[in-house]
Amino acid sequence: MNRPLLIQLAHDSINEVLQAKNLIDKVALQKEYPLLNESIPMTMKIFLDGKLRGYYEDLARKSVLDNVIQGAKIAAFEDKNSEPLTLSEYFEIEIEISLQTPEGVISHRA
């Protein structure tokens, strides 16, 4: 499946926890996509069967790269309003990421 970069990065981040190993090469990503180093307010929502399953928000204290990686893990496993995501549920989720840029909100869900 071909997903947008930030959505794929969020999936890879969750997958790191589920597989208990590092899968993301942050240095390579930062070199290839310099905008990942910018600090932009972001929200992330995880949906399962169309219902909100996890949530994360940051007001631009971290880089987009760190926000997506850490935010996905927090939304999937540490949201106080939801149970931690299971491996079988992981294959069924949709992730929505919204960046609040000076030009307006950029949002994608996949």
Contact 86, 57 (CB under 8 A): no
Q: What was the pLDDT predicted at 2?
A: 65
Residue 101, strand partner residues: 104
Mean predicted confidence (pLDDT) in 49-63? 92
d(CA 96, CA 110): 7
Q: Is the pLDDT of residue 1 over 90?
A: no
CA pseudo-torsion sign 97, 38, 28, 76 = negative
d(CA 103, CA 109): 19
Predicted TM-score (pTM) above 0.85: yes
Q: How confident is the model at residue 59 (pLDDT cuts 50, 70, 90)?
A: confident
- Look at residue 60 in the predicted model and tell me its pLDDT: 75
Over its C-alpha atoms, the chain yields an Rg (Å, rounded) of: 13
